[in-house]
Structure 1
Amino acid sequence: MEYSAILLNTPRLITIKEINEKKTNWDKKQSDSDFTEIIYIQQGCVEFVYENKPFIVQGGDLIILHPFSPIERKPYTDESFKAIYVNMSNLHINGNDKGWFTNSNNFPIIHLQEEKMEINNYLNIILREYRTQHAGYQDVISSILQAAIIKITRLLKNSDHQSVSSICFDVKKYIEENFRQELTLNHLATLVYVSPYHLAHIFKEEVGKPPIQYLIQCRIEEAKRLLKHSNLSVKEIAAMIGYENPNYFNLLFKKVTGTPPGKYRKSEISSKREVSQSLEPSMFVGRHLINAITVE
Structure 2
Amino acid sequence: MNLTLQYIGKVLEQPDWNFPTHRHQHFSELIFVTKGEGVVTIAGERYAVQEGDLLVYNKGVIHEEYSSQNNPLALYYSGILHPDMEMLIPFECCPVMKTKEHKNTIQSLFDLLFEEAQHKRDQYQQATQQLLTVLVVWVHRLNKENTTLNKVRNAESLAIGIKEYLDIHYLRHLTLQDIATEFHLNPYYISHVFHRKYNDSPINYILNRRMADARQMLVSTKLKISVIAHLLGYENANYFTILFKRLMTESPSQYRKRELRERINL
1:83 alignment partner, one of 25, 29, 33: 29
Is the Cα contact below 8 Å between 2:31 and 2:75 reproduced in 1?
no
Q: Based on CA coordinates, which of the two structures has the bigger radius of gyration?
A: 1
Once the two structures are TM-superposed, the CA of residue 259 in structure 1 deviates from its matched residue by 1.2
CA change 1:23–1:123 in 2 (3 A) is: farther
Aligned residue in 1 for 2:195: 204
CA change 1:124–1:206 in 2 (3 A) is: farther
- CA deviations over 1:129-171 (Å, ceiling 9, x no partner): x689xxxxxxxxxxxxxxxxxxxx9xx89x7x85322221111
**CA separation in 1, counterparts of 2:198 and 2:256?**
29
1:190 alignment partner, one of 170, 181, 184: 181
Work out whether 1:213 is the aligned partner of 2:160. no
Displacement over 2 Å in runs of 4+: 84-88, 110-124
Work out whether 1:247 is the aligned partner of 2:238. yes
- State the one-letter code of the partner of 1:44: H
Once the two structures are TM-superposed, the CA of residue 120 in structure 1 deviates from its matched residue by 7.3
- State the one-letter code of the partner of 1:245: N
Identity %: 26
Once the two structures are TM-superposed, the CA of residue 43 in structure 1 deviates from its matched residue by 3.9
Is the Cα contact below 8 Å between 1:228 and 1:265 reproduced in 2?
yes
Aligned residue in 1 for 2:43: 111
Is the Cα contact below 8 Å between 2:33 and 2:75 reproduced in 1?
no
- Of 249-258 and 198-207, more deviation after overlay is shown by 198-207
CA change 1:82–1:171 in 2 (3 A) is: closer
Aligned residue in 2 for 1:125: 74
2:4 alignment partner, one of 22, 35, 38: 22
**CA separation in 1, counterparts of 2:155 and 2:203?**
18
TM-score, normalised to structure 1, is 0.46
**CA separation in 2, counterparts of 1:113 and 1:182?**
28
TM-score, normalised to structure 2, is 0.50
1:257 alignment partner, one of 242, 248, 259: 248
Once the two structures are TM-superposed, the CA of residue 190 in structure 1 deviates from its matched residue by 0.9
CA change 1:237–1:120 in 2 (3 A) is: farther
- State the one-letter code of the partner of 1:168: A
**CA separation in 2, counterparts of 1:238 and 1:23?**
50
Is the Cα contact below 8 Å between 1:165 and 1:206 reproduced in 2?
yes
Q: Which runs of 5 or more residues in structure 2 are unaligned?
A: 8-21, 35-41, 48-62, 78-106, 112-145
Aligned residue in 2 for 1:227: 218
